[in-house]
Structure 1
Amino acid sequence: MAATTTLLNEIRRAQRADGPAAVLAIGTAVPANCVRQDEFTDWYFRITKSDHLAKLKAKMKKMCDKSGIKKRYFHHTEETIGGHPEFTDRAAAPSLGARLRVSADAVSELAAAAAERAIAEWGRPAADITHLVVATNSGAGEPGTDLRLAALLGLRPTVRRTLLYFHGCSAIFTAIGLAKDAAENNRGARVLVACAHAVLLPFRAPDENSLDTLVAMALFGDGAGAAIVGADPTTDPIERPVFHVVSSSQATLPGTEHAVAINLGESGVDYRMSVEVPALVRGGLERCLAESLAPLGLANASGTGWNGLLWAVHPGSRPLLDSYEAAMGLETGKLAASRCVLSEYGNMFGATVIFVLDEIRRRRQHGEEEGEDWQWGIMSGLGPGLTVETIVMHATAGRRNED
């Protein structure tokens, strides 16, 4: 028995990586169709034939003006919507099937474009990918985007695939957590994480009885982010980690199940986002983040409290970013990368955080990021529940791409 236990332990040690998981490369992509936020209200009410709803249009205009968003990108165009009257007519036949068919190609193409950029930066062949984790709010079938993406990229038939549906804005946190576990528990594993969304599923005409529809239309955009995750970086070819993934945790704020929800129905997807969310964040965020860092002995790792950390926060909306600053006592500028991404792309659900990481990296490379020599950082975002997702990061030595 003792000999068997020893053998099992030896096998287990041989299977596991020696070091922690790291993000080795990242890539992003958006569709070609760009709509400026100051033109969006007119565009949206025109293509949904809703210009007669003057009060709703004025309300939407105020939302867009206060959103902190300059422009967004969409796979769907005026022609797309015009060719599917069921997308905007609530009295028409169910539209879910048509929405899913149009979204399937859009999501796969976006995910492939982001993944190709990540793989090119990584520097190894796509065939070296051993695991694939795909997350999207824009699908509901199997085989799904994961199998389509594997075919588009030329991944091996033996790649181990995981497909996540409807995790909302927190999708990337779940996906990177799974990638961390796979990389650290399978020696030599290289995990491709892809998070892609097209907002055609929730797209619909404005409704006087649904403020959530206006909020969704004013904030959400299409986009994809991808990352390569692995442990024990190779030297030939050279793999250069962007940052190490130290831990991944999740906490649900008690009694907040009503605050954020995603429901799939015959007419697409409905998003429910309570106006209470910013207040709930201010009231419970710091406790959740402190509990995430405490087991690591990092309650004050930087020596300067929360402001001594780098912050990669999902930019769900301007009020949500404001609530993060208020809850954590963050100095002006700590969420500059998140605000920049919100401005340039809007809320692209889980993919958005990859854009934030890319922006942080760009700023560090050009000396634009305050405290560019940071060691510890936090990725944080919110999901249905209301759920607080946290990933603790540790910087690699030196700036990326600096030789």
Structure 2
Amino acid sequence: MPLFFRLLFLANFLVTVALAVQQAVTVKGIVNCRGQKQPGTFVQLYDEDSIFDSDDLLGSVIADHRGVFCVKGNTEEFTTIEPYIFIEHNCGYEGLNEKRVFTRIVPIEYITEGPKAKHVYHMGDIELLTADAPVQKYDKRIYVETNIDERIRQCIPIYVQYKRYYEKTVFETKTHETVLPTDEEPVEIEEPVVEPTEGEQEVVTSSTEEVQETEAPVVHHEMSDEEKRLEEERLRLEEEQQRLDEIRRLEEESLRLEEIRRIEEEKKRIEEIRRQEEEQQRIELERREEERRLEAERRAAEEKKREEEAKLQEQRRKEQEEEHKRRMDEYHRREQERQEALKRREEEIKRREEEEKIRISTSSSEKVEKKDPCVHYPVLTHIQSISRSIEARHEYVEDPCLKR
């Protein structure tokens, strides 16, 4: 029986693995707390499983210096995965040693089949502070460690501003007020006087007489205590005056040093301004000199270019004149040759006409046989017909022998 369950479980596992589909998701967002970016926040991406199985961690990332994070993850599941963002924080619980959790489910349309997501789910600004958080306002203070001299320089102006308050501190009690004496306005402390009633007056007078009798020999001792107290008060006042003088001296010294420092800074600033102006003037002069040099070079280059163009134009003009002269000579030579050829042709035509006339005249004198009437009229070739005159051509055309 146990073997059967094992085989069934193995078959179910194999079917699940065979039908499992790889799915991926990508989430992007910005972590905020009270509207302030939270760099370094640890963001996790989980896949929610059934109650019998723990959630699977798909990916985790730490937000950058801008509070921006981009977490990616993929897994193989038989059904569609249910991813969600998990952020553990203490926003709103600063100083309480407590943690809270921020979660948000990723929509199903951003889940893609395959090892890499095709769409990114942008959550935008994520505010971790909730309305029920106990600490709604929290100012993070930064303490800077300073030395004793710096703290004294910082406290002197405050002491000078609240000097009268420091020297005249009033302590209020239920019965009377005690004001500390100062060097400007010495204050005498008066003891409270209690007036006796009529029934107690006799007791008070008798008691005062007894006290006077008993305290008579101790007057000198009380006077010495009073003198000591006055002497101590005087010494205390002198020490207080010395302390105030020292504070005034330190204040004056700090003011003097501050004035010297301010004067030196002003001198440095003026010197820096003068140096900057001189540097700007030098740069401006160099720029103008460079512009003048470039302008001179440009003008020289343009002048040289114009001279070269003028030379080229002059050379082209000479070449054109030579070409025109050569063409005119060639034209005159050809015209002369044509005239000579025409003359030779006219002479040749005249010569042929004379020869033809002579031949015709000689041929007309010969006797023509009666058997062949066309013997007297010889057949002319095409070349011979060209050189004949119009009269002779009409004569041969009208000749009946040519109709053969």
In the superposition, the TM-score normalised over structure 1's length comes to 0.17
- Please state which structure has a larger fraction of its residues in strand: 1
In the superposition, the TM-score normalised over structure 2's length comes to 0.17
- Please state which structure has a larger fraction of its residues in helix: 2
